Amino acid sequence: MGTAEPQVASTQAQAPTIDGFQLVIDALKLNGIDTIYGLPGIPITDLTRRAQADGLRVLSFRHEQNAGYAASIAGFLTQKPGICLTVSAPGFLNGLNSLAHATVNCFPMILISGSSEREIVDLQQGDYEEMDQLAIARPVAKAAFRVLHAEDIGVGIARAIRAAVSGRPGGVYLDLPAKLFAQSIEAEAGAKSLIRVVDPAPRQIPAPDAVKRALDLLKAAKKPLIILGKGAAYAQADADIRALVEKTGIPYLPMSMAKGLLPDTHELCASAARSFVLPGADVVMLIGARLNWLLSHGKGKTWGGKGHKDWGGQKFIQVDISPQEADSNVRIDAPLVGDIGSCVSALLAGMGPGWAKPPADWLDAVHGKKTANVARMAETLAKNPSPMNFHSALNVVRDIVKANPEAMFVNEGANALDFTRSIVDMYKPRKRIDVGTWGIMGVGMGYCIAAAVESGQEVIAIEGDSAFGFSGMEVETICRYNLPVCIVIMNNNGVYKGTDVNPRGGDVAPTVFVKDARYEKLMEAFGGVGVYAKTPAELRKAMEEAIRSRRPTLINAVIDETAGTESGRITSLNPTAKKK
Ligand code: ADP
Ligand code: MG
């Protein structure tokens, strides 16, 4: 043994090191990720503390599902992956719902979960919170990765980011076992191992022949229609999308979360003539919208088909980043694959000067239908029944949103969702965030928190009383971070409505809640403002004050308990309701 050896060893011992916790934080920061939505606990508590100490914003929730929904919608709003951080097994499972939600809705999100020791998990020896999380996450994630060595953290996070935001965005799972966080490597090697992802969501330019095919079809159309989906909202190509609609002069239908991409009051907006334009159109251009159940799969009576499985004869153009989306339900005559920004600008460039607007008889017919329906709705909205119903309450919300077009708008429920979607106009892109592709309940408070954090704007949430219950405890989180959130609970004493009766007596019916529940006191319990509102005037005053003060506010809007229908507008999906 030479004398030099102990010297080398001591030099190594003195070389600065970096641990797994720090590498994760540095890798996120290096990639411009500045916010974590999560819930601390073993083994990630120190990760949340150190991330906060290092300047990341760490928002701590009361339940992982809500943190996950927050992360998913942050991804939608920012085009950066929303980060949800959970503990192992049960925390991970609670976060899994939102991971699936992100994947299904095409929102970029990364669920990072701590996990137990691989050696013990794989031999099923009964570790603390033992679970093979990677295997469980994989089927509901766009991609799933696990990092076992500190020097791979940089690669793991880079791959997770790319998978989440490139192509069709989605939910990504990143498994970080407890042991990884404590691993230390030389700081210099650690720094070198990190990757700043270059061009994480590369533009995907559509092929010129596909652009021409789409334009030829559009040009020949007598009754064209454009459908804008939340993919179009996500793409942040707002000016080009507006130019495309206006230059072609084609009526358009915004899907729920595409409302406001152009103002709902735009003369070409056909929302109020939906049941006329879908069966009536001859060529339909889908932009970032899928022909799933929300569009009756492109066939059946909604589309002018005779029976359930019949196609109405429309030709379809589909602009989408996923090459596999076309033909998923009906034939797509002109698939246009690429990112929406690139596709729409290629369409605009290809149109050239002298593009003829659609035939006047189509435009007039759409306009006529729309005007009649709007007038009918205005009559209903002007009524002031006692007790207040959905319409008279939403008439107030409609005015408040019109006066505050920059406010973020969260919406969930059954009837509270359907009525709100059709009554409350949106004026700006990416303001309306709601139940999405699955039509789920539970996104409410998570969405409110992320919307406030990511936008800095006031948030208005219109919640069914049932929907609110899924995430209601997060009012504490809203108060803790003093977020400008105004929650309006459409309280009709139950699921769908509050009038069901148990024919045998005893317990109340499964759809019925405590009568005249005082939800507003939940907000007061944490220092926010609670308001009990029985009239549109009281509701208006409370909402105006909430927007003005930016204080966390919960308005218990008492609605006629007989208002509302079974399953809202999707009664047809409910076998029991169908028989009734
Ligand atoms: P909606 O429910 O509003 O109809 P969907 O979620 O069904 O919307 O459809 C969104 C579509 O948008 C998905 O097929 C997705 O692949 C696509 N998409 C998402 N982001 C982009 C993008 N940047 N460019 C092109 N297509 C996109
Ligand atoms: Mg209800």
3-state class of 192 per DSSP?
A: helix
- The answer, yes or no, to whether any atom of ligand 1 lies below 6 A from the CB of 168, is yes
Closest ligand 1 atom to Cα of 237: 23
How far does residue 106's CA lie from ligand 1's centre (Å)? 7
Q: Whose CA is nearest to atom 4 of ligand 1?
A: 289
474-489 confidence digits (pLDDT tens): 999 999 999 999 999 9
Q: What is the pLDDT of residue 1?
A: 39
Distance CA 292, CA 85 (A): 31
How far does residue 397's CA lie from ligand 2's centre (Å)? 17
- Buried-exposed string 543-559: b where 16+ CB fall within 10 A, e elsewhere: bbebbeebbbbbbbbbb
- The answer, yes or no, to whether any atom of ligand 1 lies below 6 A from the CB of 332, is no
Kindly report the average pLDDT of the chain as a whole number: 95
For residue 285, give the amino acid letter. M
- Judged against a pLDDT cut of 60, whether residue 6 lies above it is answered with no
Q: What is the pLDDT of residue 567?
A: 74
Query: In this structure, are residues 396 and 539 in contact, taking their beta carbons and an 8 Å threshold?
Result: yes
- Judged against a pLDDT cut of 80, whether residue 491 lies above it is answered with yes
Provide the phi-psi class of 505: left if phi over 0, else alpha when psi is between -120 and 50, else beta. left
- The answer, yes or no, to whether any atom of ligand 1 lies below 6 A from the CB of 137, is no
Using CA atoms, how far residue 353 sits from 12, 138, 247, 248, 474, in Å, is 70, 49, 10, 11, 53
Q: What is the pLDDT of residue 490?
A: 97
Q: What is the pLDDT of residue 576?
A: 61
Provide the phi-psi class of 441: left if phi over 0, else alpha when psi is between -120 and 50, else beta. beta
Q: What is the pLDDT of residue 14?
A: 81
3-state class of 444 per DSSP?
A: helix
How far does residue 77's CA lie from ligand 2's centre (Å)? 28
Q: What is the pLDDT of residue 571?
A: 75
Tokens of 20: 């797994």
Average confidence (pLDDT) over 260-284: 98
131-173 confidence digits (pLDDT tens): 999 999 999 999 999 999 999 999 999 999 999 999 999 999 9
Mark the residues whose beta carbon lies below 5 A from ion ligand 2: 464-466, 492
- Judged against a pLDDT cut of 90, whether residue 5 lies above it is answered with no
How far does residue 497's CA lie from ligand 2's centre (Å)? 5
Closest ligand 1 atom to Cα of 255: 3
Average confidence (pLDDT) over 48-59: 98
Closest ligand 1 atom to Cα of 288: 12
Angle at 383 between CA 378 and CA 387, to 5 degrees: 140
Closest ligand 1 atom to Cα of 201: 23
- The answer, yes or no, to whether any atom of ligand 1 lies below 6 A from the CB of 229, is yes
Q: Which of 170, 194, 198 is nearest to 76 (CA)?
A: 170
Q: Whose CA is nearest to atom 18 of ligand 1?
A: 231
Closest ligand 1 atom to Cα of 231: 12
Q: Whose CA is nearest to atom 20 of ligand 1?
A: 231
Q: Mean pLDDT lowest for which of 21-25, 41-45, 570-574?
A: 570-574
Q: Which of 386, 395, 394, 445 is nearest to 416 (CA)?
A: 394
Distance CA 126, CA 355 (A): 69
Query: In this structure, are residues 58 and 38 in contact, taking their beta carbons and an 8 Å threshold?
Result: yes
Distance CA 191, CA 204 (A): 32
Distance CA 408, CA 444 (A): 12
Q: What is the pLDDT of residue 503?
A: 96
The Cα diameter of the chain in Å comes to 96
Q: Whose CA is nearest to atom 9 of ligand 1?
A: 289
How far does residue 555's CA lie from ligand 2's centre (Å)? 14
Closest ligand 1 atom to Cα of 437: 2
- The answer, yes or no, to whether any atom of ligand 1 lies below 6 A from the CB of 286, is no
